[in-house]
Structure 1
Amino acid sequence: MKNKIIIFAILLFSANAFAQKNGLEINGWTNVNTFKCSHPRFKNSGSVYSFTGNQLPNISVSVDDFDCRNKMMTNDFRKVLQSDHYPNLNIRFLEFKKSNSNKFEAVVEVKMMTVARKYSIEFSLYNNSLVGNKRLRFSDFKIVPPKKMGGMVYVKDELDLVFSLETKD
């Protein structure tokens, strides 16, 4: 029950933050603090997505365009995802269906570096945008979460992929 409340709060916050716009964030935790890495270029892309027929979205974004609002954190994020060798993060919709009036279910493939994983994600319709959130793990993509200061500060394995996609009516 607690997890559902947290997910609902994240979706509600994300829906308000991304209202009628595209948005892509990766949120995570360290043993000391939290971090949020957003993708301003995707947010300002002006893209509008269609979820009808068999032409589902295939989104590719540059890892170097993520901004964690802290230069050192941004550089560490890009280094962990090896942006010099794997410049893009890819999100491909494989299935999409309506489950009730404002809820949708999708199967999405997320590819980081050389690893692609499929996830079921629930989306909510809010102001002509589909808002979704999925808890992932660095280890899902064979990434060891980074440590600093001899392991005194470490990034937890879990992270949230939060996104909003402006849709056509």
Structure 2
Amino acid sequence: MKTKITLLLIILFSTSVFAQKNGLEINGWTNINTFKCSNPKFKNSSSVYSFTGNQLPNISVAVEDFDCRNKMMTADFRKVLQSDKYPNMIIKFLEFKKTASNKFEAVVEVKMMTVARKYNIEFSNYNNSLVGNKRLKFSDFKIVPPKKMGGMVYVKDELDLVFSLETKD
């Protein structure tokens, strides 16, 4: 029950944050705090995505463009994702279907560094944007969550990928 309430709050929060805009955030937790890394260049892009026909979106996002609103956290985030070696995160839509009047399901491949994983993600249509989120794990991508201060501060394995994609009518 607690998980469902948390998921509902994330969806509601993400729809209010991303209304009518592109947006991409990675939200995570440490043992003492939360963090949110967003990509302002993606948010400010003028891209509009189509989910009809055979040509589904294939989105490449520069890891170096993520900002965690804390200089040290941003540097650690980029280092963990090895942005110097693997400059882009790829989000590729493999399947997409309407399930209800305002709801959709997609199979999405997320590639970080050399590992690509497929996820089923539910989306909602909100003001000409598709809003969705998925709980991932660093370990899904063979990434060991970072630790600081001799392990006294550590990042938890789970993180949420939250995004909104402006769509064509």
Amino acid in the other structure paired with 1:116: A
Amino acid at match of 1:73: M
For 1:7 and 1:102, locate their aligned partners in 2 and report how far apart those are by CA, in whole Å.
Answer: 18
Q: Distance in 1 between matches of 2:65 and 2:81?
A: 12
User: How many pairs were matched up?
Assistant: 169
Residue number in structure 1 paired with 2:108:
108
* Aligned match of 2:118: 118
Matches within 5 A, 1:74-153: 74-153=74-153
Give distance in 2, aligned partners of 1:49 and 1:127. 14
Which consecutive residues of structure 2, in runs of 5 or more, have no partner in the other structure? none
Question: Which position in structure 1 is the counterpart of 2:48?
Answer: 48
Separation of aligned partners in 2, 1:4 and 1:98: 22
Matched, 1:34 2:34: yes
* 3-state SS of paired residue (2:99): strand
TM-score calculated relative to the size of structure 2: 0.99
In the alignment, what sits opposite 1:58? Answer: 58
- Matched residue type, 1:25: E
Q: Please give the TM-score of this superposition, normalised by the length of structure 1.
A: 0.99
- Partners of 2:167 and 2:98 lie apart in 1 by 14
Cα displacement (A) at 1:2: 1.9
Deviation at 1:53, TM superposition (A): 0.5
Task: Find the aligned partners of 2:47 and 2:56 in 1 and give their Cα distance.
Answer: 14
* 1:25 has 2:33 as partner: no
Superposed CA RMSD in Å reads 0.5
Whichever residue aligns with residue 167 of structure 1, its letter is T
Deviation at 1:94, TM superposition (A): 0.1
Question: What CA distance in whole angstroms lies between the structure 2 residues aligned with 1:149 and 1:25?
Answer: 26
For residues 77 and 166 of structure 1, the distance between their equivalents in structure 2, rounded to whole angstroms, comes to: 26
Q: Which amino acid in 2 is paired with 1:37?
A: C
Tell me the residue number matched to 1:69. 69
Long gaps (5+) in structure 1: none
Runs (4+) of structure 1 moved beyond 2 Å? none
Distance 2:127 2:9 in 1: 17
Task: Give, as a single letter, the amino acid of the residue that structure 2 aligns with 1:152.
Answer: M
How far has the Cα of 1:89 moved from its partner? 0.3
| 2:157 alignment partner in structure 1 | 157
Identity of aligned residues (%): 85
